[in-house]
Amino acid sequence: MSYSASIGFLYGLQKHGIKLGLETIEVMLARLGRPHDRYRTLHIGGTNGKGSTATMAAAVLQASGYRVGLYTSPHLVDFRERIRVNGDPISEECVSELIARLQEAIGSSLQPTFFEFTTALAFQYFFDSGVDVAVVEVGMGGRFDATTAIAPLVSVITTVALDHQEYLGHTVGAIAFEKAGIIKHGVPVVVGRLSQEAAHVIGRITSEREAPLYRLPSDFRANGDILEDFRYEGVQVSYTGLSCPLPGAHQLDNAACALAMLELAAAWGLPHSEASVRAGLSAVCWEGRLEVVATNPLILLDGAHNPAAAEAVAAYLAHYRHDHPRSRIILVIGMMREKDREGFLRIVLPLADEVVVTQVQIPRAASVRELCASLGERADAAHVASLPADALSLARRLATVEDVICVTGSLMLVGEVKALLRGCALSPIRG
């Protein structure tokens, strides 16, 4: 099977939609011989920050000399971004070969979703690649997410906020309950900054499952104004003068969660040195999160898509404006129809001098008309471009060399813009 045919097969699985539950993935993995039981795993969930945390942890482990698998979602441009070993994406040849193998092993009696099939593919690939450890990001929620089939050394819940309410519930407490589904009996749990409501739910579940709980900032923390120079005060160790290239003060909490997780994992056979912490953090690369892709004018891509993530983007833009008072901020916005558009825009719009509204080219994207209706009093002054390519061109025409163009609202939009800037094709699989 060619790579294009393989991707076509995966694309076709999206017809099954999102199906929460563990029955199908458990059967799939059993028919494959349970590859995920053959290496150690770390499991990271949360509303925001889980991908950054996973990437930091994987980088430190790789710097420690381990062979490291990393499973994240969604991808931005290329499906292969989701599955990496020591930072390298899975090859097209391996994708094709593994899809054929999985089809034969699984048979025709199951109807896996795209995410279930991809998760099984990733777990098998990590086994075939001889990884020492796999860092696994939860897809959505936790309790019924396919990745919850693993038995990790440590689990992490970075944040809990309103997102994916149609699947996870309409209160922070309900969503916290779903996120807490990754907690296993006796397995240590690291949690980031949580509201009182979320902390209560997760605290109760960790107690019921006799899982040791380590909380930010009471049990561990990262202190500093920027990631270029920060201090980690951990459960048992402390480091000063750490540096990580990811922008945004919110990444301090993600770094703290990653390092706390690694501290606890060390007791289960994954030791690492201070030198590997420094080397790993300094080498971290995580695209689409306050990512600078051009200068003069500065073009910034961030896939924030809920109000909590909007706060991080707004904080970064406010800081940028303080340091560059002559710069204007031009916001290019595209979002999914099911997201809290009003809540998101309420946070970022006050910082924008110009707004360009566009539509991500997938069926569940909000139309430009729907987005404009969410702009309130800014609607009449907004610029409209139906295609992301036209939106980026328009933003560039509006900008001077001193300005900043911020593309945000959806990882799907960020992926489309990255493909435009690279001059490459965009994977047909989105989401």
Looking at the fold, whether 262 and 332 belong to one and the same domain comes out as: no
The residue from 228, 256, 282 where one domain ends is: 282
pLDDT of 17 reads: 67
Q: Is residue 428 part of a domain?
A: no
Q: How many CB atoms lie within 10 A of CB 336?
A: 18
Rounded-to-integer distance, Cα 73 and Cα 88, Å: 15
The phi and psi torsions of 86 (rounded to 5 degrees) equal: 50, 40
Which CATH number characterizes residue 122's domain?
3.40.1190.10
pLDDT of 163 reads: 62
pLDDT digits (tens, 9 = 90+) for 171-206: 989 999 999 999 999 999 999 999 999 999 999 999
Looking at the fold, whether 316 and 379 belong to one and the same domain comes out as: yes
Looking at the fold, whether 38 and 66 belong to one and the same domain comes out as: yes
Q: Do residues 156 and 52 make contact, with C-beta atoms less than 8 angstroms apart?
A: no
Rounded-to-integer distance, Cα 400 and Cα 407, Å: 16
Which CATH number characterizes residue 357's domain?
3.90.190.20
Q: Is residue 427 part of a domain?
A: no
Looking at the fold, whether 186 and 233 belong to one and the same domain comes out as: yes
Looking at the fold, whether 164 and 23 belong to one and the same domain comes out as: yes
What is the pLDDT averaged over residues 284-293?
95
Looking at the fold, whether 112 and 13 belong to one and the same domain comes out as: yes
Beta bridge partners of 41: 134
Looking at the fold, whether 363 and 216 belong to one and the same domain comes out as: no
Predicted model pTM: 0.96
What is the pLDDT averaged over residues 216-240?
94
Task: Classify 96 as helix, strand or coil.
Answer: helix
pLDDT digits (tens, 9 = 90+) for 30-58: 999 999 999 999 999 999 999 999 999 99
The residue from 260, 282, 304 where one domain ends is: 282
As for how many domains the chain has, the answer is: 2
Looking at the fold, whether 83 and 199 belong to one and the same domain comes out as: yes
Looking at the fold, whether 16 and 88 belong to one and the same domain comes out as: yes
What is the pLDDT averaged over residues 407-431?
92
Rounded-to-integer distance, Cα 388 and Cα 390, Å: 5
Q: Is residue 176 part of a domain?
A: yes
Range of the domain at 166: 3-282
Q: Is the pLDDT of residue 167 over 80?
A: no
Q: Is 20 left (phi over 0), alpha (psi -120 to 50) or beta?
A: beta
Q: Is residue 417 part of a domain?
A: yes
Looking at the fold, whether 256 and 334 belong to one and the same domain comes out as: no
Looking at the fold, whether 44 and 191 belong to one and the same domain comes out as: yes
Rounded-to-integer distance, Cα 330 and Cα 407, Å: 9
Rounded-to-integer distance, Cα 415 and Cα 411, Å: 6
Provide Rg for the chain, Cα atoms. Answer: 21
Q: Is residue 429 part of a domain?
A: no
Looking at the fold, whether 181 and 277 belong to one and the same domain comes out as: yes
What is the pLDDT averaged over residues 343-357?
97
What is the pLDDT averaged over residues 324-335?
97
The phi and psi torsions of 293 (rounded to 5 degrees) equal: -115, -5
Q: Is the pLDDT of residue 164 over 80?
A: no
The residue from 255, 282, 309 where one domain ends is: 282
